[in-house]
Amino acid sequence: MIDRSELVALIDVSVDSLAQYHGEWIDKLLKREQQCREEQWTDSVAVGSIDYIEKVQKQFGVRGKSRQVCSVGQQCVLRESDADYGQILRVKSAYRVDIVPF
C-alpha cells in the first residue's frame, strides 16, 4: 500500500497523471542493465508518512500489532515480522509452495 496523496505531494504531480508517470518509471527501470531491489518497496506492506502507516496498521486489527513500523529515509514503512511469513507460506518441496489463507 502506498500513501498516494503523500507521493503526489512529494513528486509534485497530479493524482490523475500518477499512473502515467508510474508506467514511465517502470519502463525506465526495466531498461537499465543492472536492476536491483529497493527494500523499502519490496519488503514493506505499506510506505508513507507515520500517520498513514499507523492508520494502515490499525486497519489490520490484531494482525497489525505484530507488524513493525520503521523509518526509511524520510518515509516510514510497515513490515511483516519474520514470524508472520511462517504462518502464510509453507514450503512443501523445493518446487511447490502452498499459500495458506489468512
Per-residue pLDDT tens digits for 18-39: 888 888 988 888 888 767 777 7
**What is each CA distance from 83 to 39, 62, 91, in whole angstroms?**
18, 15, 14
Domain tally for the chain?
1
Is the pTM higher than 0.85? Answer: no
Tell me if residue 74 falls in helix, strand or coil. coil
Is residue 90 within 8 Å of residue 77, measured between CB atoms? no
User: At residue 47, does pLDDT exceed 80?
Assistant: yes
Tell me the residue range of the domain where 82 lies.
4-99
Would you state the pLDDT for residue 64?
A: 83
